[in-house]
Amino acid sequence: MTMKKENWRILTNKEIYASVKKPTIIETIRLNRLRWFGQVQRMEGNRIHKRVLYMNLGTTRLRGRPRNRWQNEVREDGRIVGGEGWQEKVHNREKWKKLLRTARNRRILHMAME
């Protein structure tokens, strides 16, 4: 009786995520950021969340490369998920939910990270 030797190797993160079919932590954060942005956009203008989102602090930036702002990240994620007219889709709750669900199922934000 001969024993067959099994080959073990270390899997890369991409291979693990592909086999598990679960969103990465970055995808989850991006989708939750877009979901929260949609909620705030649909709020009335006098709510504190909406006022803080568009508040201008009037401070100067530090030297060097500008840091990514939250709004810039939302804009980029929204453009990836919904194309050019994504900001109009935010105001219709059902369309927005469907768009985010499609992005999660098709792993659109995952492809943008690679």
Q: What is the pTM of this model?
A: 0.73
Residue 5, domain member (yes or no): no
For residue 38, the enclosing domain spans 24-53+69-113
Residue 10, domain member (yes or no): no
Three-state secondary structure of 2-43: CCCCCCCCCCCHHHHHHHHCCCCHHHHHHHHHHHHHHHHHCC
Q: How many domains does the chain have?
A: 1
pLDDT (tens digit per residue) in 81-104: 888 888 888 888 998 899 888 888
Q: What is the mean pLDDT of each run of 10 residues along the chain (114 residues)?
A: 72 80 83 92 88 81 83 88 84 90 80 55
Give the pLDDT of residue 34: 92
Name, in order, each residue with C-beta under 8 angstroms of 96's C-beta and a sequence gap of 6 or more: 38, 89, 90
Give the pLDDT of residue 113: 53
Residue 7, domain member (yes or no): no
